[in-house]
Structures are given as structure tokens and as C-alpha cells.
């Protein structure tokens, strides 16, 4: 007999589903932008918000927008859909309190920790540090849950 689902599993499951939703929005947006001139769109946004295009950061943004190719957007779109599907599987599995979902989430989340650490070393930022800490807490919690959770088999 299964015990009531621990709140932590529900929170992580909902977080995974929310992340999947955001990834789907990014994927759809990437496909939507394939036929658009991103550089021109960025320039219009700068004018709309009365921002100085000569600002260093904004100038880099304009440059990046000008070199994005439709094939890049297609890759981003498909990649985000694949990740979204994976997050949906994790999220639904965790909400349904499936042990395989806990193992899957540990493996996937832990495998990304070195990349997140590398990103922080390259460019420190509060969002990157927060993501690393959240994912580390998720991995530790799920390992603890697998060891100490009083539930049935996989």
C-alpha cells in the first residue's frame, strides 16, 4: 500500500510541469520567429521602449539577433520540445509518486549539475547560481526520499 505523496515530490513534479510549459512556449516562439527578421524586430523593440541602441549590451543584442538563422531557431524549437517532453514525463511520474520518476529525475538533474557549474564559472549570475542550488537540493531530496521514503516497490 502506498503512503500519501510527500509534499516535496508534488512540488518538484509541479516545478517540472511548469518548466515544461515554459519550454513549450519557447519552442513555439522559436518556430514562430523563423520567418521574421529578428534584427529588425529587436530594433523596433528598442525604439518602442526608447532605449539607446548604442548601449554596449543592447548593441550586442542587436548583433546576436542579426546572426540568428532560421535553422538555429528550428534547432532551438525541436530541442525545447524534447526537453519539455522529458520534463512532462518526470513531472507526471513524480506527481503519481512513481519511484522510476524519482530515479529518472535524479539521473537527469544530476547529469546537468556539472554543466551548470561550468556556466557559473564562465559567467557568474544570480539566476545561474539559483538554478544550480535548486537542482542540487532536488537531487539531494530525491536521494533522501528514495533511501528513507516508506513506499512500495518501483
DSSP for 6-63? PHHHHHHHHHHHHHHHHHHHHHHHHHHGGGS-HHHHHHHHHHHTT--TTSHHHHHHHH
C-alpha cell of residue 32:
514562430
* Cα dihedral 145/146/147/152 (nearest 10): 110
Q: What is the pLDDT of residue 1?
A: 39
To the nearest 10 degrees (0 to 180), the angle between helices 126-148 and 7-32 is: 140
Q: Across residues 80-103, what is the average pLDDT?
A: 95
The mean of the pLDDT values for the chain is 88
Find the radius of gyration of the CA atoms of the chain.
20
Residue 43 pLDDT grade (very low, low, confident, very high; cuts 50, 70, 90): confident
pTM of full prediction above 0.75: yes
Summarize the chain as % helix, strand, coil (round to 5).
Answer: 80, 0, 20
Amino acid at each position: 500500500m502506498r503512503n500519501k505523496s510527500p509534499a516535496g515530490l508534488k512540488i518538484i513534479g509541479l516545478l517540472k510541469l511548469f518548466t515544461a510549459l515554459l519550454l513549450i512556449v519557447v519552442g513555439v516562439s522559436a518556430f514562430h520567429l523563423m520567418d521574421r527578421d529578428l534584427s529588425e524586430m529587436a530594433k523596433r523593440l528598442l525604439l518602442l521602449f526608447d532605449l539607446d541602441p548604442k548601449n554596449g549590451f543592447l548593441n550586442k543584442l542587436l548583433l546576436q539577433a542579426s546572426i540568428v538563422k532560421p535553422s538555429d531557431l528550428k534547432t532551438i524549437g525541436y530541442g525545447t520540445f524534447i526537453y519539455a517532453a522529458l520534463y512532462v514525463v518526470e513531472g507526471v511520474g513524480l506527481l503519481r509518486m512513481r519511484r522510476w520518476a524519482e530515479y529518472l529525475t535524479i539521473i537527469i538533474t544530476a547529469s546537468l549539475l556539472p554543466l551548470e557549474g561550468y556556466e557559473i564559472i564562465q559567467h557568474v549570475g544570480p539566476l545561474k547560481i539559483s538554478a544550480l542550488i535548486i537542482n542540487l537540493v532536488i537531487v539531494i531530496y530525491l536521494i533522501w526520499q528514495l533511501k528513507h521514503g516508506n513506499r512500495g516497490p518501483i
